[in-house]
Amino acid sequence: MTVINNRGVSAIESAFERGKILIPYLVAGFPDEKSSLECMKAAFNAGADMLEIGVPFSDPIADGAVIQHAQDRALRNGMTLRKTLRLAADLAADQKKTVSKPLILMCYYNPILHFGIERFVDSALESGVDGVIVPDLVPDEAELLIESARKKNFATVFLAAPNSSEKRLRLISKSSSGFIYALGLEGVTGERDKMSDKLSTFVENIRSIDKSENKKAHRVGIGFGVSKPEHFKMLSAIADGVIVGSAVVRRAESSPQAVREFIEELRR
């Protein structure tokens, strides 16, 4: 039980204790299996506080061109949910040599449903994965996942959109564990030149609703659209953590070194 107690939701929450945190996203199996693991290690070595590992899916409806391309390539390389869990286990084992930072999966719903929800939660925890983000699953349809996850202290991170109503933000707040993922835009993943200037109000809104819903307030991570150091700076002033996806994935295509340099640049 001790192992479980410091993993899952607890591991994610302690990562946020470190201050404003950086959460890069990488696709398992892109550009190939071995390089993707190297990129993940490089991201951690360069100062990532938590890692979001994308599980490739045949129909990634929430993703823009860069991540679509990466997922497609990863699928061609034979990457699957099962193999992603193995990759995560390798990464977690490597991490334990130093300091153990949390891993979360970003996975579309069908692979999880097909794998079996309870089995997924158990296997993920066994592989050193602390939580999951499911981009096409809203809390309204997530009863089974939330129930299985709660029993094991596994985090279910739900997304809050700029257009989510107050009623929906309450539901998202009630259903999330680990943190709440605020979407930086209405649209699909991908780098944007400019981030909206309304994001500060949006995050404040999430925080105030969250405070009235829960005794212990959630941390708020923000992602989608982030492309450069100025964005990271601006968003980490607003939220507790920043997720950087496409901009990191694009660099993963060239080399783990490029990932490392970019994350160092963001961190500077």
Partner 1 sequence: MTRFGRYGGIYVPETLMVPIEELTEAFEYFRANPLFQKELNELLSTYAGRPTPITFVPTFSDKVQAKVYLKREDLLHTGAHKLNNSLGQALLAKRMGKRRLIAETGAGQHGVATATAAARLGMECVVYMGTTDMKRQAHNVVRMRLLGAEVRPVSAGSRTLKDAINEALRDWVSNLASTHYCLGSALGPHPYPTMVREFQRVIGDEAKIQFREMTGRLPDTVVACVGGGSNAIGIFTAFLNDSVKLIGVEAGGRGTGRGEHAARFMFDSDPLNHIGVLHGTETFLLQDEDGNILPTYSVSAGLDYPAVGPEHAFLFETKRASYSSISDDLAISAFKMLTQTEGIMPALESSHAIAYVIREMKGSNEFILINCSGRGDKDLSIVEDWMKGHGEL
Tell me how far apart the alpha carbons of residues 219 and 169 are, in angstroms, rounded to a whole number: 14
Of 88 and 160, which has the nearer Cβ to partner 1? 160
Q: Is 52 a catalytic residue?
A: yes
Of 113 and 258, which has the nearer Cβ to partner 1? 113
Tell me how far apart the alpha carbons of residues 157 and 175 are, in angstroms, rounded to a whole number: 8
Tell me how far apart the alpha carbons of residues 62 and 187 are, in angstroms, rounded to a whole number: 8
CA dihedral 53, 244, 189, 30 (to 10 degrees): -40
Parallel, antiparallel, or unpaired for β 103-106 and 155-157? unpaired
- What would the x/- binding string for partner 1 be over residues 173 to 212, using CB under 8 A? ----------x--xxx------------------------
Amino acid 116 reads G
Q: Is 30 in the site for partner 1 (CB under 8 A)?
A: no
Question: Applying CB under 8 A, which part among 15-23, 43-51, 79-87, 229-237 lies near partner 1?
Answer: 79-87
Judge whether 41 and 256 are in contact, CB under 8 Å: yes
**185: DSSP letter:** S
Tell me how far apart the alpha carbons of residues 89 and 94 are, in angstroms, rounded to a whole number: 9
Instruction: List, as one string, the DSSP characters of 199-242.
Output: HHHHHHHHHHHHHHH-SSPPPEEEESS--SHHHHHHHHHHSSEE
- Catalytic one among 63, 130, 191, 240? 63
Out of 73, 115, 205, 255, which residue is the one contacting partner 1 (CB under 8 A)?
115
Cα torsion 183, 186, 189, 191: sign: negative
Both tokens of 208, joined, read 């105030």
Out of 3, 4, 61, 144, which residue is the one contacting partner 1 (CB under 8 A)?
61
Q: Is 72 in the site for partner 1 (CB under 8 A)?
A: yes
- Catalytic one among 13, 49, 52, 210? 52
Tell me how far apart the alpha carbons of residues 250 and 70 are, in angstroms, rounded to a whole number: 8
Q: Is 54 in the site for partner 1 (CB under 8 A)?
A: no
Out of 110, 196, 236, 255, which residue is the one contacting partner 1 (CB under 8 A)?
110
Q: Is 140 in the site for partner 1 (CB under 8 A)?
A: yes
Out of 19, 93, 141, 201, which residue is the one contacting partner 1 (CB under 8 A)?
141
Out of 59, 143, 147, 265, which residue is the one contacting partner 1 (CB under 8 A)?
59
Tell me how far apart the alpha carbons of residues 38 and 267 are, in angstroms, rounded to a whole number: 19
Q: Is 63 a catalytic residue?
A: yes
Question: Applying CB under 8 A, which part among 33-41, 113-121, 212-220, 232-240 lies near partner 1?
Answer: 113-121
**In the complex, minimum distance from the CB of residue 165 to partner 1, in angstroms, rounded to a whole number:** 6
Both tokens of 135, joined, read 């981009």
Out of 10, 45, 80, 196, which residue is the one contacting partner 1 (CB under 8 A)?
80
Q: Is 124 in the site for partner 1 (CB under 8 A)?
A: no
Active-site residues: which are they? 52, 63
Contact positions vs partner 1 (CB under 8 A): 57-62, 64, 68, 72, 75, 80-82, 109-115, 135-138, 140-141, 158-165, 168, 172, 183, 186-188
